[in-house]
Amino acid sequence: MLLLLLLLLLLVRSGGHRVVIVALLCLLNVGCTQTGKTRQPKQQQTTGNQDTACPACACGLGGTVVADALDATDSYSNTLRVIGGNATDTQPYPWMAALYDNGSFFCGGTLINDRYILTAAHCVARLKPSTLQVYLNRPNIAELNTDAIQRRVARIIMNRYQALRNNNDVALLLLQRPVRPSAGGIGVPICLPTSGTDDYAGRMATVTGWGKTADGVLSERLQQLPVPILTNQQCRRTGYYRFQITNKMLCAGYLEGGRDSCTGDSGGPLQLAAEPSSPDSRQQIVGVVSWGNECAQRNYPGVYARVTRFASWIKSNSRGACWCS
């Protein structure tokens, strides 16, 4: 700038009035450009992963298991089950996700839209997205079927998880690529709870997962177990201390023991029919497998993160995803 002013002074003294005018216009950025330094307008940055349109789809609709969907070698003895449950396929639960860290299975999760998996915070609190893989339509965690869906994780989103109290035990996993439902029912997300509904006491729900069975080892085949939902007041009168059961939790299970979700089921869904009177009603996720006093112990039901208390957080942290109606 100083050099330009000196130049102008010399030009004025030499009588170069036209040059002076052009130089003044340059100072005002009018009708003058600098070679190689032309300023370009800023462009909005894009991630390259956003879809322009969301296809129409329906959430919470699973298929049915045909007779030959399970191997002939599958045993239905308690030693091959979620404690007290029975083997199933992923066809009735297409939203059921198996989470792997560096190739090893460690927790369950649930597909809630085309880009996000809902799981438990304690499952992923100390993990890195770069080491995680998510599988859908993989009923046997020991075998990789050809039609399984595999996705890498781009980001882990936590919600003020309180490890000492097991509170706010939910997390979202952003997938690197979207999952779209197929004509065969693969990749269908579960529905979130109906708005305004929070009281499920007395209803039967189903927990699914690959957790430890009665013999203390992880089940290779996906398991399912129907469990009754308790009120929080009932749960606080069990073997748990009253302060342990917060309003962000939900209890489900059998007070006599013997049937329960267990280690390895963590992060998976507690699901029930939106319309209990209809056998074909859509399934909605009401709980995320969280914690308990060991597994299937008398007077200690399973404790789940209550999804209704996190619905607004889930939606606000999964903007840009495609939701099924």
Please give the backbone phi and psi of residue 149, each rounded to the nearest 5 degrees, phi first: -100, 125
Give the Cα separation of 289 and 300 in Å (integer). 14
Q: Which two tokens stand for residue 250?
A: 């939900």
Q: Give me the catalytic one of 122, 219, 261, 318.
A: 122
Strand partners, 158: 171
pLDDT bin (cut points 50, 70, 90) of residue 215 is: low
Q: Give me the catalytic one of 89, 169, 260, 265.
A: 169
Predicted pLDDT of residue 69: 32
Decide if 103 is inside a domain.
yes
49 has pLDDT over 80: no
- What is the per-residue pLDDT across 89-100, written as a single tens digit (0 to 9) for each? 788 999 999 999
Q: Give me the catalytic one of 89, 114, 261, 266.
A: 266
Give the CATH number of the domain where residue 173 resides. Answer: 2.40.10.10
Mention every residue, 6+ apart, whose C-beta is less than 8 A from residue 237.
Answer: none
Give the Cα separation of 173 and 99 in Å (integer). 10
- What is the per-residue pLDDT across 254-266, written as a single tens digit (0 to 9) for each? 988 776 577 668 9
Decide if 109 is inside a domain.
yes
Asked if residue 304 and residue 215 are part of one domain, the reply reads yes
Asked if residue 227 and residue 169 are part of one domain, the reply reads no
169 included as an active-site residue: yes
Asked if residue 215 and residue 182 are part of one domain, the reply reads no
Selection from 271, 50, 314, 59 nearest residue 181 by Cα? 59
Can you tell me which residue has the tokens 């619905």?
A: 311
Selection from 70, 227, 59 nearest residue 139 by Cα? 70
Asked if residue 256 and residue 213 are part of one domain, the reply reads yes
Predicted pLDDT of residue 165: 96
Asked if residue 298 and residue 228 are part of one domain, the reply reads yes
Selection from 112, 91, 270, 268 nearest residue 182 by Cα? 91
Please give the backbone phi and psi of residue 113, each rounded to the nearest 5 degrees, phi first: -160, -170
Sign of the C-alpha dihedral, residues 267, 53, 155, 142?
Answer: positive
Decide if 140 is inside a domain.
yes
Asked if residue 302 and residue 242 are part of one domain, the reply reads yes
Mention every residue, 6+ apart, whose C-beta is less than 8 A from residue 27.
Answer: 4
Asked if residue 208 and residue 305 are part of one domain, the reply reads yes
Decide if 51 is inside a domain.
no
Asked if residue 210 and residue 151 are part of one domain, the reply reads no
Decide if 238 is inside a domain.
yes
Q: Which two tokens stand for residue 181?
A: 């439902």
Q: How many other CB atoms sit within 10 Å of the CB of residue 220?
A: 17
Predicted pLDDT of residue 63: 66
Decide if 6 is inside a domain.
no
pLDDT bin (cut points 50, 70, 90) of residue 184 is: confident
Give the Cα separation of 111 and 150 in Å (integer). 12
Buried-exposed string 302-316: b where 16+ CB fall within 10 A, e elsewhere: bbbbbbbbbeeebee
Number of domains composing the chain? 2
135 has pLDDT over 90: yes
The percentage of residues in the chain with a pLDDT greater than 70, rounded to a whole number, is 73
Please give the backbone phi and psi of residue 269, each rounded to the nearest 5 degrees, phi first: -90, 145
Range of the domain at 124: 94-189+312-316
Decide if 20 is inside a domain.
no
- What is the per-residue pLDDT across 100-125, written as a single tens digit (0 to 9) for each? 999 999 999 999 999 999 999 999 99
Selection from 205, 243, 242 nearest residue 225 by Cα? 205
> What type of residue is 30?
V
Mean pLDDT is highest, among 50-59, 147-156, 209-218, 294-303, for: 147-156
Asked if residue 233 and residue 136 are part of one domain, the reply reads no
> What type of residue is 172?
L
Asked if residue 211 and residue 304 are part of one domain, the reply reads yes
Q: Which two tokens stand for residue 220?
A: 């290779």
Mean pLDDT of the chain: 79
167 has pLDDT over 90: yes
Buried-exposed string 232-243: b where 16+ CB fall within 10 A, e elsewhere: beebeebebeee
More confident residue, 246 or 275: 246
Decide if 272 is inside a domain.
yes
266 included as an active-site residue: yes
36 has pLDDT over 90: no
Q: How many residues does the chain have?
A: 325
Asked if residue 108 and residue 141 are part of one domain, the reply reads yes
Q: H or E segment at 172?
A: strand 171-175
- By DSSP bridging, strand 171-175 and strand 283-291 are unpaired
Asked if residue 235 and residue 150 are part of one domain, the reply reads no
